[in-house]
Chains A and B, each alone.
Chain A
Amino acid sequence: MNSIWNEKLIFELGAPGRRAFSLPASDVPEMELDWPENIFREEAPGLPEVSEPELVRHYTALSRLNHGVDTDFYPLGSCTMKYNPKVDEALAALPGFAGIHPYLPEELVQGALQLIYEMEAYLAEISGMDRVTMQPAAGAHGELTGILLVRAYHRCRGENRTRILVPDSAHGTNPATAAMAGYQVVSVPSDQRGGVDVAALGKLLDERVAGLMLTNPNTLGLFDENIHIIADMVHKVGGLLYYDGANTNAIMGYTRPGDMGFDVVHFNLHKTFATPHGGGGPGAGPVGVKKDLVPFLPVPLVDFDGKRYYFNYDLPHSIGKVRSFYGNFGVVVKAYAYIRSLGAEGLKQVSRDAVLNANYLMAHLKKYFYLPYDRFCKHEFVISGKWQKERNGVKTLDMAKRLLDYGFHPPTIYFPLIVEEAMMIEPTETESKETLDRFIDAMIRIAREAEEEPEKIKGAPYTTYIGRLDEVAAARKPELRWRAGK
């Protein structure tokens, strides 16, 4: 792969005077700007000076250094790296969606408002919630919105609750969100089967608890069979249940957060509903709520009066806005198209295949890797590299890097925190049996290599453009921008 990139950044290409832009001359009479002298920039910004062919070749070369879902298998646990349908991209780019300004009068955006209105109904149905806001831009943003709704709900009832409970297996965004919303975070331990330790939860529940944040199936990929008991316990002390929707891909059509007793839920449209992750965004994190929390939703909601769709700002108890305008609308269009492509039976089949694929991988890998919770999983599962570490001194990180040599993106590693040397594997439903078999073969070969050639694994990867990078040096002496001559 060495020839792909010339190892230069865009700043190191081109020459003064080269240009890739093309702008018309001004067609208005020259105007004297009445600006104060001290407001003008004196020195031009140090931006690249390249021609269009150089620019295109540079970013094309960079793209080839990436591994994407379209490149090969991407079993990154908790991230639901499923195939992103091409038609959804094309539809979001239609001028009637991509070319509409957020301040257009409502009569000129009836199609967009209808799409949002219908999307809200679909997400409410899939989750068992009463209303949904599209405003949050990502999963963690949805969490913040949801927890602020919980806060507003309690405050409106004159209660000043101070604690949010979070399981020890939770995504890091959960405790970070609760802290951002001004709450004290209390960790709930897991039990022997990987679920919430109900007895321990009972001891933590009192009138100080605003809510419990949970994902079900949880980050171990396990469905918490006590969910209805947990919900009753939390509700009994006046707390609310927050559903982290990162793992919704496992349950569509089988159960709904609303039926499990959850009061607030966020979706990750970029996981469950097949919109691309974009190398780290944009996603979208719509939030659904039960009836009692509707008055607190961010403004505006989209409503329909029987003739026309309109923005409803009339929510006196609203938490306000969490983002400018109406959220990542372009992402919502793609997810809408996905839901319309699959329908109810299609979505259920998605969950069936996602769960079947995960269990198939688990059944084959558990002979070679320690499986801390040996029961059927949902859409993902967690194995551990502890056998290899104890026997051969080979860590999970080493095995993850070795997977790169076999052409795969590694699983999520060292998460959840409650499993040592964790590897969290989520195949998704869009992978064929042949791909899963190739991955199983690679993992078995790596397990064998760990026994026979541990040093080889510790030096991996060998076939990538670049070797393991010195992250310690990067953090100790941060170099966060390019400078000429360095």
Chain B
Amino acid sequence: MRYLPNTTADRQKMMADIGISSVEELFADIPEQVRLKRELNLPEALAEPELVRHLEDLAGKNGDTSRYTCFLGGGYYDHYIPAVIPALLSRSEFYTAYTPYQAEISQGTLAAIYEFQTMICELTGMDVANASMYDGATALAEAAAVATGATRRQRVVVSRTVHPEYRQVLKTYLEPRGVELVELPCTNGVTTGDNLDRYINRQTAAVLVQQPNFFGCLEDVYSLQRAASGVGALFIVSADPISLGLLKPPGEYGASIVVGEGQSLGLPLSFGGPGFGYFAAREEFLRRIPGRVVGATSDARGRRGFVLTLQAREQHIRREKATSNICSNQALCALAATIYLSTMGPEGLRQVASLCAQKAAYAKKRLNAVKGISVAFDVPSFKEFVIKSEYPLNLIQESLLRHGLVAGPDLGRYYPELAGHLLVAVTERRTREEIDRLAEALEEVVG
């Protein structure tokens, strides 16, 4: 086996040093009644060329972005990935290292995380950021948990326009802690602004919103923030980092914690993972935040260096009193985002966000002009919007597939009241020709 260096002769010498005549002696302490008395039933080992052929076969059965033009959104997006990112991520000093416990031989990872934390603070307008979370959904759930601890309140209010899967994860995380989860209704694609005080009260630990929301619509974050701060609740915003190239950083409209999914920042779609969650907060929550945090310090000679810090929050020190059980995060994905943001710079990020907004606005107008199709919500939106159709969605989806296009998801699966509604995402990668083709595919169904 090519991954196992030792030969039979090597093993013999090692056994002699240990004082055994068979490796089986090392397993003698496994009691008879728990032993597996047969071989594992697994497929025959494949040689590397066979392996490659098999995986290429499986991969070939999938409709990747080179085969179907992607107008799919809902938290994962087909943005362009600059070539420098995979090139630098393939440095195995980065990807074959563990969590940087030994700072002296991990300065590469540590300095990059420090840069990452800085960039996330710059994007969000927050004071501190951690080294990453599993994804946008768990980052939001952990933020809600921080809020319940900080306020000593057990009610979390979340808008119905927050990603449905994030809300499901939120429920999974909060229910065992005895936290009550309350949903803010939505009207015309945005959080309903009336009667907020019916939901947000003095028992509320946090108000959770997404900007732009799951439908791509822009929320009135100011009034939602006022409703939260008015009762002493934290205002927690989940934001697409690409949008922050154009949109006001949530820190400037009073967010306490800002989280989000980072896949947009230079990571492949990969069927929904790995991406990463980012987590940024105001300084007052510093000792409550989950996960790894890197800080700057110096060695005895006064040279600047970076270390994992504030570890007294973490599971390996505090055990059951830790702020979270998180250990491994998505470090390499955060590195990809760091390189992405360095590549784009302030101007590149603004241009990407602007291209998304422009093309999405064009698509919105173009599709709205298709007979039988209308844009569902008459509110400003960023790179996604919702269309509704007089025709069954399956006919529409079939027509799109025939044209080599995919859009969605179908919103009926999450919002029964929105059956027949389809999400459309338009990134900077989409061309006018592709958008027109989408409109034509829709016209074909209607015609």
Contact = CB atoms under 8 A, between A and B. Distances in A.
A114 B271 CA distance: 13
Interface string A44-62: 1111111010011011101
Contact of A323 (B84, B111, B134): B134
A205 B3 CA distance: 44
Contact of A96 (B62, B319, B324): B62
Nearest to A134: B273
A88 B315 CA distance: 31
B246 A40 contact: yes
Nearest to A74: B98
13 contacts: A11-B118, A20-B342, A38-B222, A104-B72, A139-B328, A141-B138, A176-B325, A280-B332, A282-B329, A323-B135, A342-B3, A478-B293, A480-B114
Interface stretch (A76-84, A287-295, A443-451): A76-84
A347 interface: yes
Contacts of A42: 248
A276 interface: yes
A480 B58 CA distance: 44
Given A10-B342, A63-B91, A102-B269, A282 B432 contact: no
B329 A280 contact: yes
A272 to B, nearest CB: 13
B23 A277 contact: no
Q: Chain A: interface secondary structure? A: loop
Given A11-B118, A98-B64, A341-B46, 17 more contacts: A36-B218, A45-B119, A49-B345, A66-B94, A104-B63, A110-B61, A111-B59, A125-B41, A176-B318, A324-B163, A344-B40, A349-B4, A378-B26, A469-B305, A470-B299, A480-B296, A481-B127
B108 interface: yes
Contacts of B300: 467-468, 470
Contact of A26 (B35, B87, B359): B359
Contact of B15 (A100, A356, A470): A356
B293 to A, nearest CB: 6
A7 B359 CA distance: 41
Contact of A138 (B134, B176, B362): B134
Contact of A62 (B111, B134, B178): B111
A300 B222 CA distance: 36
Residue from B48, B343, B344, B359 having most chain A Cβ neighbours under 10 A: B343
Nearest to A471: B307
Contacts of A115: 58
A343 B244 contact: no
A93 B86 CA distance: 10
Q: Which 3 A-B pairs have the closest CB atoms?
A: A96-B59, A325-B272, A278-B332
A344 B40 CA distance: 5
A19 B84 CA distance: 13
A29 B320 CA distance: 57
B390 interface: no
Interface string A383-423: 00000000000000000110010000110100100000000
A218 to B, nearest CB: 12
Interface stretch (A196-204, A234-242, A251-259): A251-259
A433 B10 contact: yes
A156 interface: no
B40 A103 contact: no
A355 B24 CA distance: 10
A482 to B, nearest CB: 4
Nearest to A41: B248
B273 A282 contact: yes
Contact of A330 (B40, B41, B104, B268): B268
B54 interface: yes
Contacts of A326: 271-273
Nearest to B137: A324
B346 A46 contact: yes
Contacts of A415: 316
A304 interface: no
